[in-house]
Amino acid sequence: MTDQLVHVENLTVAYPMADGAVFRAIDEFSMTVKRGQIVGVVGESGAGKSTIGKATLGLLDENAVIDTGGVMLDEVMVTRLEEHAFADIRGSKVGYIYQNPMTALNPVLTIGEQLIEAIEANTNKRGQDARAYAIDLLEQAEVPLPEERLSKYPHQLSGGLCQRIVFAIAISAKPDLIIADEPTTALDVTVQKAVLGTLVKLTRQENIAIILITHDMGVVAEMCDYVYVLRHGKLVEEGTTAQVLSNPSEPYSRELMAAIPRIDHKIERFAVPGGLGKAEDRKRAIDYLMSRKADAGVEGAPLLSVRNLSKTFAMKATALKAATDFKAVSDINFDVFPGETLGIVGESGSGKSTVGKMILGLHKPDPGYEITYKGHNIDDLKSKAQKLAHRQSLQCIFQDPYSSLNPRMTAGDNITYALRAHGVLSRAQARELSGDLMELVGLPRASARKMPHAFSGGERQRIGIARALSFRPDFIFCDEPTSALDVTVQAELLNLMKDLQEQLGLTLLFVSHDLAVVRQMCDRVMVMRAGEAVEIGACDKVLVAPEHEYTRGLLAAMPRFRPEEVA
């Protein structure tokens, strides 16, 4: 048996376009992966990273054409195989871990049904043997209460647990290769550390090779032996992890490194190109945004003050469990001052987003709370006009740019629809404003006529920012606004948000599981655990010299990008 498992030789994957042009998703790319090796494939969205994995498993779109080269898997040219031949490869020789575990798992089947189905399809285990092996796999993947989890559905488990279950399915047949496509994008640092540690342990035990597709350089630094850097389908640079991360030779690789947020020091701006719109349109948008009413409450007082904020959810009874109450948030107190950015960090389920939803009026807090905004208790707002002005002053940038926009409306209509619905703008005014705001967030004015599916994830998030700004808010709740974006797009958006905050005097409540992003964006940070605030203070203190043991644990679990320390 040869040590070389995968050999991609001069691979070109092209897609014919309707206008006769040809789009090359991968252009003359070559790569080698040895058994037991972890190879990182990095690059921004659209670089062609996922195309490599799909080509290996015969999952390319029907209109894809392999112009040159191919993929050799264990000395077999898999890119030339017929569809039926992949039955002996998918699952048994190659496992695939998708980016979103909630969409990778079937929502109408239990965890046990899905895991046992994979076991019976790819091994000789059946019946009770398959069930016992399923429990063993979940134990190996460090899933708590593995036997109980078999009867659960995906929506009943956290994202971290679902991702571990996807890992268990991927390794169920002990494949030679695992392709992990952004496996930790939406996971918090402690869950990420656990699932990656589990993956490395299991693959080392079985001498499994991994192709890790990711934009997280901290994960690359800690996991990968070798790295390939892609851009526009072409190989830009390759080398050992130490070579590429600590001393990149190509300008694009250096640009990628410069876009990565650091936890050890704060910078004013990321060194990435900033897409600015037309100066005239941007000025018109800024003038519109600055024309909002300047009612900021009492001078020197907090813009937002939260006291005794709690939220309890009633959990319905099931056949196995009586009805219970779940305390999602417990007695939270904090202030946010005008022009400040307060970060909220913590593990999944710590209550971060629930706090924001209560402030925005999307959840009703438990009795005994007090939320004061601009010096007024929000429960004292009685008239329709008062409530409308309050809601327009507080806006939200959502985590998922794919689902937060109406897919049946143009980008421009998404930005201004609510204003038109309230009679604030005429159709002509809305069209003018949407174009100005598109330019303000770095998108061409003409693209306001496009539908959301025609934009990349980063561009959709810019549209989401433009929509939030259209109400001329004083306060914006940012709920994981960059978690699904690659590092260069993330850096561009963080630069944009810093610029807009400085120009408009915006106040931000910034939720993120990425502590390095919080360090770069926030003035102060609140650390939450199981619904409680365990520590709050200046970022330079809390994220550098934390007092609470839980905060120290979060920082210890975070994958660090320190090119000067990469061995």
Degrees, nearest 5: CA angle 203-204-205: 90
> Could you give phi then psi for residue 232, rounded to 5 degrees?
50, 40
Looking at CATH, the fold of the domain delimited by 4-258 is given as Rossmann fold (3.40.50)
Q: Among residues 392, 393, 395, which one has the least CA distance to residue 476? A: 395
Strand ranges of the sheet holding 524-529, from the earlier edge strand across to the other edge: 394-397, 475-479, 507-511, 341-345, 524-529, 532-538
The class that CATH gives domain 295-314+324-410+471-565 is alpha beta
| pLDDT at residue 368, as a whole number | 92
Query: Residue 196: helix, strand or coil by DSSP?
Result: helix
| pLDDT at residue 534, as a whole number | 94
**Residue ranges in the chain whose pLDDT is less than 50:** 567
* C-alpha–C-alpha distance, residues 410 and 417, integer Å: 10
Q: Is the dihedral of CA 376, 380, 385, 391 positive or negative?
A: positive
Find out whether 348 and 187 touch, Cβ atoms under 8 Å. yes
23 CB-contact burial (10 Å; exposed 0-12 / middle 13-18 / buried 19+): exposed
Tokens of 314: 């009633």
Q: What is the pLDDT of residues 100-141, one digit of tens each?
A: 777 789 999 999 999 999 999 989 999 999 999 999 999 887
| pLDDT at residue 186, as a whole number | 60
One-letter amino acid at 44 equals E
Instruction: Write the CB contacts of 238 (distance below 8 Å, at least 6 apart in sequence).
Output: 31, 226, 227, 228, 229, 244
C-alpha distances (whole Å) from 552 to each of 132, 488, 530 are 38, 28, 16
Instruction: Write the CB contacts of 242 (distance below 8 Å, at least 6 apart in sequence).
Output: 566, 567
| pLDDT at residue 275, as a whole number | 55
| pLDDT at residue 487, as a whole number | 80
Strand ranges of the sheet holding 226-231, from the earlier edge strand across to the other edge: 94-97, 177-181, 209-213, 38-42, 226-231, 234-240
CATH 3.40.50.300, the chain: domain bounds: 4-258, 295-314+324-410+471-565
